[in-house]
Each structure stands twice: as structure tokens, then as C-alpha cells.
């Protein structure tokens, strides 16, 4: 089954870029796009690559913060605590100068000053534009900000998530998910949407979506209206959030069925939901 590895990175960028023209967004890249690391008694060390894909030099300032997601699944800064990962995370260097077309390495270490509780500890490494203010094609000045999430897990992650309800409107289908565990949960896998009268039945739809997921390039089943990768936006421990799927094109009033294959947290997912758009 296809995994959409770039998706969370794209979500992080869209949540954190403030007024950044789309053309410029692709001039800077970060790899890997997120970190999930085990945390024990010894320091943890990792590194990432920051790539300037543009034609002009970049200056990047580095900072660290504690965060969660608001009701719209947008990243927000929150006050640190004695158990938040930002308090234990040391980044080097704090400034990067990256010539056009070049790559620089950013390193960080996690050194807890107190005994970490079992569960997930989070930080965001922010990359902020330094140097001259840039202007977009419309003449508006802007600076970029990119966030790379870091999850440090104490204990073996067990991910418990459940779908509480589903609501649909023409622009999106919302899945309300409750995370009852100590580690983030997210969808993994693919989906397809049919008009109810064209739904081929659970077995045939499941086979068609599985075949599409195994292909090198995902193609929605022939009779389906839409399909693709499930959104990988995380639902954080102790939270309940609505995760949207946005069909293209939008949905007209009527009755539909959506098949989801993959996982929600640790639980296998191969389920069909019926819904109506008023």
C-alpha cells in the first residue's frame, strides 16, 4: 500500500508559512520531514538536511518551541513545561547560510534534565528566514517559516484512536477522531469515494482500492469519483479533532460511500462509511 511520505511535511509547511508565495515555498526543502525517536536514559542525536533549491543565497535562523494543534489542525505555540521536549533539545548551529543550490546540515541532541514521563514529548524546530526581506510577484514583502516536528517517545508507542462521527459537506468530509492514548495517532493508507448507486459492493471496492494502492502511481478505481492518500495530520494524545478529506472536485448533494484502507493508529482500517451531502 502506498504511503504518502511527503504529506505531513506539506501540512507542516502550509500551517507555518506566513504569506509565503507558492513559487518560493519550493526553493527550500528539509529532509527528513519529521522525527520520531525513542527516548531513554542516554542522549539522542539526530541531524537533518536543509536544501536551498533556489537561485539566491538563503540565511536561516533556528529556534525551538513547544506546540500543539488548534481546532483547525493548525500548529500553535504554547508555553513550555518541565516535560516538554523543547526544554531538552539543543540545536546546532543556530544560524545557517546556504548558497544557491547547496545543502547544509542541522544537528540536534535531546538531553532530558528531568526524568521523562512515559508517553510522547514534542518539540518543533523552526527555520526562519534571515537576511533581506523578500518580495513576491505582487510586491508584498514576506519572510518564510518552516516547522519540523520532533516526537520523542518514552516507552513503546501504542496508538489508540477511534472515529466518533463523520460529517460531510460539498467541500470536505470530516472524520472526528478521539485519541485516548499517550502517543499521536494518524491515518495511513488510501481512500476512494463512490456515488451510492455506483458503489460496486464492499468486496469489489476493497479489491479495486487495494490494487490501486499497490500500483506505482495511485489511480482511483474506475467507477469512483475520487481517491488518494488518507490525510496524515496527527491527533495528539488526549485530544479529539476533526480530520478532513477534501474531494476533488467537490461533492454535489446526494448519497455517497467512502472506503478507507490502511490504519488508524495501530488498528487496521478497511471500512466503508455511508454519508449524505445536503
Q: Is there a common fold for 7-154 and 161-273? A: yes
Tell which CATH architecture fits domain 161-273. Sandwich (2.60)
First to last CA, the chain: 33
Residue 6's pLDDT is: 32
Q: What is the pLDDT along the chain (278 residues), one digit of tens a residue?
A: 433 333 333 334 433 443 444 445 558 899 999 999 999 988 999 999 999 998 889 999 999 999 999 999 999 999 999 999 999 999 999 999 999 999 999 999 999 989 999 999 999 999 998 765 655 555 555 578 899 999 999 999 999 999 999 999 999 999 999 999 999 999 999 999 999 999 999 999 999 999 999 988 899 999 999 999 999 999 999 999 999 999 988 999 999 999 999 999 999 999 999 999 98
DSSP class of 115: P
- Assigned CATH topology for domain 7-154: Immunoglobulin-like (2.60.40)
| Chain-centre distance for alpha carbon 200 | 32
Cβ count near 27 (within 10 Å): 18
CA-to-CA distance for 48 and 98, rounded, in angstroms?
14
Q: Per-domain residue ranges for the chain?
A: 7-154, 161-273
Q: pTM score, two decimals?
A: 0.84
Query: DSSP readout, 160-195?
Result: -EEEEEEEEETTEEEEEEEE-SSS-B-EEEEEEEEE
**Residue 269 and residue 262 in contact, taking contact as beta carbons nearer than 8 Å:** yes
Q: Nine-digit cell at 200?
A: 460496486
Residue 142's pLDDT is: 58
Amino acid at each position: 500500500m502506498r504511503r504518502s511520505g511527503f504529506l505531513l511535511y506539506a501540512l507542516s509547511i502550509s500551517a507555518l508559512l506566513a504569506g509565503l508565495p507558492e513559487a518560493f515555498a519550493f526553493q527550500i526543502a528539509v529532509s527528513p520531514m519529521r522525527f520520531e525517536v525513542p527516548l531513554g536514559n542516554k542522549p539522542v542525536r539526530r541531524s537533518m538536511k536543509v536544501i536551498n533549491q533556489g537561485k539566491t543565497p538563503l540565511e536561516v535562523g533556528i529556534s525551538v518551541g513547544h506546540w500543539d494543534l488548534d481546532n483547525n489542525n493548525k500548529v500553535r505555540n504554547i508555553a513550555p513545561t518541565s516535560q516538554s521536549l523543547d526544554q531538552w533539545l539543543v540545536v546546532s548551529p543556530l544560524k545557517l547560510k546556504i548558497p544557491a543550490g547547496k545543502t547544509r546540515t542541522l544537528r540536534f541532541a535531546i538531553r532530558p534534565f528531568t526524568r521523562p514521563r512515559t508517553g510522547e514529548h514534542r518539540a518543533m524546530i523552526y527555520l526562519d528566514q534571515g537576511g533581506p526581506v523578500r518580495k513576491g510577484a505582487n510586491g508584498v514583502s514576506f519572510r518564510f517559516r518552516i516547522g519540523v516536528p520532533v516526537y520523542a517517545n518514552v516507552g513503546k508507542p501504542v496508538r489508540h484512536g477511534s472515529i466518533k462521527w463523520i460529517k460531510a459537506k460539498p467541500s470536505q468530509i470530516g472524520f472526528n477522531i478521539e485519541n485516548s492514548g499517550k502517543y499521536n495517532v494518524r491515518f495511513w493508507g488510501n481512500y476512494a469515494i463512490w456515488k451510492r448507486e455506483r458503489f460496486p459492493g464492499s468486496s469489489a471496492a476493497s479489491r479495486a482500492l487495494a490494487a490501486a494502492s499497490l500500483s506505482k502511481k495511485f489511480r482511483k478505481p474506475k467507477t469512483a469519483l475520487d481517491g488518494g492518500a488518507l490525510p496524515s495530520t496527527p491527533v495528539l494524545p488526549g485530544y479529539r479533532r476533526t480530520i478532513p478529506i477534501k474531494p476533488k472536485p467537490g461533492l454535489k448533494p446526494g448519497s455517497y460511500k467512502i472506503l478507507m484502507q490502511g490504519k488508524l493508529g495501530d488498528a487496521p482500517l478497511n471500512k466503508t462509511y455511508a454519508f449524505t451531502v445536503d
